[in-house]
């Protein structure tokens, strides 16, 4: 019922920056809670950042706190992830997710995008 499409991934050097976007389509709700996850082959899916569609409250994984910022354009319902001071360990496929319930950094969201690849290397 809700489709999410990520964009903005790419290849950067350590210390570089990228901004990911997640554009929804279908029956969207401005009160939806949204989040960013990442995953590499053979590893567990990791919650990166999340934002409340009701209050705007945010939370981050310790590994990205101070470097990444999650935000949302409430008029267009577009989710962003600004990633600064990127490290090689940030390399992963990044996914956006949405739900009417706030699962915080747990991977229980009802709707998921197809992913966008981020590669950080020298």
Instruction: Give me the pLDDT at residue 31, please.
Output: 76
Mean pLDDT of 57-84: 94
Instruction: Give me the pLDDT at residue 74, please.
Output: 80
pLDDT tens by residue, 87-118: 999 999 999 999 999 999 999 999 999 999 99
Does the pLDDT at position 26 exceed 90?
A: no
The percentage of the chain sitting over the pLDDT mark of 90, rounded to a whole number, equals: 83
Instruction: Give me the pLDDT at residue 30, please.
Output: 67
DSSP symbols for 47-59? EEEEE-TTT--EE
User: Could you tell me which residues come within 8 angstroms of residue 29 by beta carbon, excluding any fewer than 6 positions away?
Assistant: 53, 100
């Amino acid at each position: 019922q809700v489709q999410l499409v990520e964009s903005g991934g790419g290849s950067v050097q350590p210390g570089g920056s990228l901004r990911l976007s997640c554009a929804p389509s279908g029956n969207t709700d401005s009160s939806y809670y949204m989040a960013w996850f990442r995953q590499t082959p053979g590893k567990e899916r990791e919650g990166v950042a999340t934002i409340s569609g009701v209050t705007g409250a945010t939370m981050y994984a310790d590994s990205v706190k101070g470097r990444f910022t999650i935000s949302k354009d409430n008029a267009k319902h577009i989710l962003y992830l600004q990633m600064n001071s990127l490290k090689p360990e940030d390399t992963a496929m990044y996914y956006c997710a949405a739900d009417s319930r706030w699962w915080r950094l747990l991977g229980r969201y009802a709707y998921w995008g197809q992913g966008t690849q981020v590669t950080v290397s020298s």
